[in-house]
Amino acid sequence: MSAFVGDGTNRWPAVHRLDAAVLYRLVVESAPAGAPLHTVAEEGVPFRDIADAIGRRLRLPVVSLTAAEASEHFVGFLAPLVSLGSPASSALTRERLGWAPAHPTLIADIEDGHYFEG
């Protein structure tokens, strides 16, 4: 199964790895020392949407879990994090460095399927 906690509206920020790489290069080359920067292309993707995309791709049922059930289903470092929301903004980062993410969103990237090959 592909699972989320509660109603799944908790949001996670996301960025494509290639967009992150571009930003890291910009940071090294021109970021002001000590400037707070966020590597975020999407401010917050609902966790249920992530679970739905994974479920569709793997043809698994998508289910809501309680917090207790989630702590048993999700293992390792993910277990205490899946019910949290942590939306973030990269507006200042984009303004300061002229960064513009250009690669697929998290859901589009999951639906592309390369995570599930092999």
pLDDT digits (tens, 9 = 90+) for 54-102: 999 999 999 999 989 998 999 888 888 899 999 999 999 999 999 999 9
* Average confidence score pLDDT of the chain: 93
Please give the span between the terminal C-alpha atoms of the chain, in angstroms, as a whole number: 19
**Total Cβ atoms within 10 A of residue 100:** 10
The predicted pLDDT at position 35 comes to: 87
Total-model pTM:
0.89
Query: Which of the following CATH numbers is that of domain 2-116: 2.40.50.100, 3.40.50.720, 3.30.2270.10, 3.40.640.10?
Result: 3.40.50.720
Specify whether the CB–CB gap between 5 and 61 falls below 8 A: no
Q: What pLDDT, on a 0 to 100 scale, did the predictor assign at position 10?
A: 96
Work out the percent of the chain whose per-residue pLDDT is above 90: 75
Which segments of the chain does DSSP mark as H helices, in order?
17-30, 47-58, 67-73, 91-97, 106-112
What are the residue boundaries of the structural domains of the chain, listed by start?
2-116
pLDDT recorded at residue 118 = 65
